[in-house]
A and B are shown apart, each in its own frame.
Chain A
């Protein structure tokens, strides 16, 4: 499968601060999906990016796909305690996902 590296591995932020996680691939990706896993829960689909340079927003979350389709990012504006969890990027090839290592977000109230 397509390998992706995610950074950072962990991030502690104060509530209200912004947060960004990055996903990098050495090869061109056809698309990429993002998932969120709350502590003790299972991964939940957030979004899929397909087009070069694509930007999608979901309320305080902004997702970007790089121009070369080799990297992607998720940015959360003004984090809240409900944002706590692990965020995974996952290239989707033939309905098969390869999960990145994930970024665990912790938010101090």
Chain B
């Protein structure tokens, strides 16, 4: 199974600033995903990070707010731009791998916006 690391693990940011979250996988994977999980809630898919092309965003999420990079098959970044307190959440990356195309998740980045 894939092993995923994320940086930073947590951050406290000021309103109006931006934060870039990194996701590193220990093997090459085709599909990488970014999710948001608000406290006590389920996971909501933000976008699929595509290697060599633009990310595919889910309804309610736009590239200007959540730009994503995927320079190779082991790495991706998610930027949360022009942050507001409503962006306070846990952001998780995942990869689709394994026999059942199950997803393996990184440990998450806990973001607090003041």
Contacts and interface: CB of A to CB of B under 8 A. Distances in A.
A100 B106 contact: no
Contacts of B107: 41-42
Interface residues of B, number: 21
- Which size bracket describes the interface of A in this complex? 10 to 19
A48 B100 CA distance: 7
Nearest to B92: A42
A98 B105 contact: no
Q: Which one of B40, B43, B45, B96 has the greatest number of beta carbons of chain A within 10 Å?
A: B43
A45 B104 contact: yes
A44 B43 CA distance: 13
Contact of B101 (A41, A95, A98): A95
Nearest to B1: A45
Nearest to A101: B42
Interface of A: 1, 33, 41-45, 48, 88, 92, 95-102, 104
